[in-house]
Amino acid sequence: MSRKIEPGLGELLRYVSELVESGAEEHYQQMGLKYRARYTPVLRAIRSGAQTVTEITSRTHLTQGAISQTISQMETDAIVSRQRGEDGRQTVVQLTPAGKKLVTKLNTHWSATFEAIEHLEQEIGYPLRHVLENAAKALEQRGFAQRLTSIKQSLKAGSVSHA
């Protein structure tokens, strides 16, 4: 007899992310685009004025390594190009003409995406994005490793504290 194992937070977050990404990927294919969902945060950051990997990273909540990898893939796909900045210390990331054309096509898709998110939040009865933003802020203040350590220490001491 096996006992059902409840999914963990990371597992559920990855699963929801996969469901959202696969739905978006399906629409990119329907739009006739060879496009990866992971490009979206970078393109949206560039569209809002970010020009360097550091600026893109700060606007996307993704790691600098992930952003650099994604930009390399986007460069291979001729969506962005990199040039040395005026001071020579930073690299400026710019949309290519093909990248600009792509963003124009994607603007409508992104509007529909946010509307679909709003409908999902209405269906589930709470603002999922707000919950995730609050969770991220709480984990930035006190990391998950710290929380685990605290619980384990409490268990060793014989009482569990959820502080």
The average pLDDT across 28-51 equals: 93
The pLDDT tens digits for 90-126 are 889 999 999 999 999 999 999 999 999 999 999 999 9
What is the C-alpha separation between 117 and 106, in angstroms, rounded? 16
- Could you tell me which CATH number the domain at 38-125 has? 1.10.10.10
Domain ranges in the chain with CATH number 1.10.10.10:
38-125
- Top pLDDT among 5 and 162 is at 5
Chain centroid to CA 3: how far? Answer: 34
Question: Taking Cα atoms as reference points, which of 95, 101, 98 lies closest to residue 83?
Answer: 95
Mean local confidence (pLDDT), 20-45: 92
Q: Which of 63, 28, 56 has its CA nearest to residue 41?
A: 56
pLDDT at 151: 93
Total residues belonging to the chain: 163
Give the predicted TM-score (pTM) of the model: 0.79
Of 72 and 91, more confident: 72
Element (H, E) at 159: none
For residue 152, pLDDT over 70 is answered with: yes
pLDDT digits (tens, 9 = 90+) for 56-69: 999 998 999 999 99
- Categorize the per-residue pLDDT at 134 as very low, low, confident or very high, splitting at 50, 70 and 90: very high
Max CA pair span of the chain? 67
